[in-house]
Amino acid sequence: MRLLPEALVPTADDRSTAIPVVRRPSDVGYVRTYCRHRTQMVGSSYTAPAWEFVVMSPPFLGLPLDYPSHTSITASRNHRTASCPFLVGWHQAEFTSCPQPRRAQYYAWVAPWWSSVEVPYGAMVELSPVQAYMSRALLDREDFAFKVLGSEWVVLAGAYLVDRFRTRGIMWLYPKSLRSWIFRVGFRAICHGPTGSDERAAEELGALSALLDKFPVGPTSTHRLGRVASEWRDRSSWLSVIMTSDGSVIEAKVDEDLLPLHLPYSADVLEGRVVDPALTNERV
């Protein structure tokens, strides 16, 4: 309770064996909903990720980012990519004090597929609620729990991609497997804000995904991005973008000059090349 002074004491139906409190109001009822979904999906032929495995309730867009802290999310990500990776939530500050030989008793190992859908360094996407409330199921390697984990991770990552574009005008360089999972769960399913389904956000998510498909992720591109602002550790993981529309179709375009990369650039970037031809001669 000292770590979560604002946490709520759950009712009997909401109690989890993994955590004695409900971390935030939106998590109330999560355990009950999880158990209901698990019963309904017994014998299902679905494979993760799928919208049918998303237990958490909307909204997913426009959530305040004053919780959890940047430090907590970064620590959580570092634990997932360490030499002995574990699924550690932002609320589990006690992880580092747990003796290494005993960690596997209390924290689930990262799934083999996780590295292919991990967000780039610097992207503040928290683990899904199933990790906090149903960690015993993850420890026991229950298939349903990992399907929920993957599906909810996709929702949180997709919503984060849109939110960061809307607040900072940037696009994180998500790996191909994560993008394909986002497409599979569905742009409209992911894009639910505080006022309900957000069609504009769904179009923006589709446009960002389409631009990512055109971006040549690799050493050349990441090196080129890193040179833009080498003092930012995460600079090689995102780029500036804008949205354009012809009245019917929304398209995402790169809003910084990244020659020699051939990409759909904004009008400002193209005009800048005409004004200053020296920019077009820049090479890695």
What is the model's pTM? Answer: 0.89
Categorize the per-residue pLDDT at 168 as very low, low, confident or very high, splitting at 50, 70 and 90.
very high
29 lies in a domain? Answer: yes
The pLDDT tens digits of the residues spanning 118-132 come to 999 899 999 999 999
Instruction: List CB contacts of 197: < 8 A, sequence separation 6 or more.
Output: 188, 191
The pLDDT tens digits of the residues spanning 39-94 come to 988 777 777 799 999 999 999 998 765 567 888 888 899 999 888 899 999 888 88
Residue 184, judged by CB atoms within 10 A of its CB (0-12, 13-18, 19+), counts as: middle
Quote the pLDDT of residue 279.
Answer: 53
The answer on pLDDT for 248 being more than 50 is yes
232 lies in a domain? Answer: no
The answer on pLDDT for 253 being more than 50 is yes
276 lies in a domain? Answer: no
Bridge partners of 9, per DSSP, are none
89 lies in a domain? Answer: yes
CA 98 vs. chain centroid, Å, equals: 27
Categorize the per-residue pLDDT at 189 as very low, low, confident or very high, splitting at 50, 70 and 90.
very high
Quote the pLDDT of residue 283.
Answer: 42
273 lies in a domain? Answer: no
Which residue matches tokens 């802290």?
A: 69
Quote the pLDDT of residue 81.
Answer: 87
**How many domains are there within the chain?**
1
224 lies in a domain? Answer: no
117 lies in a domain? Answer: yes
What is the domain extent for residue 96? 12-162
143 lies in a domain? Answer: yes
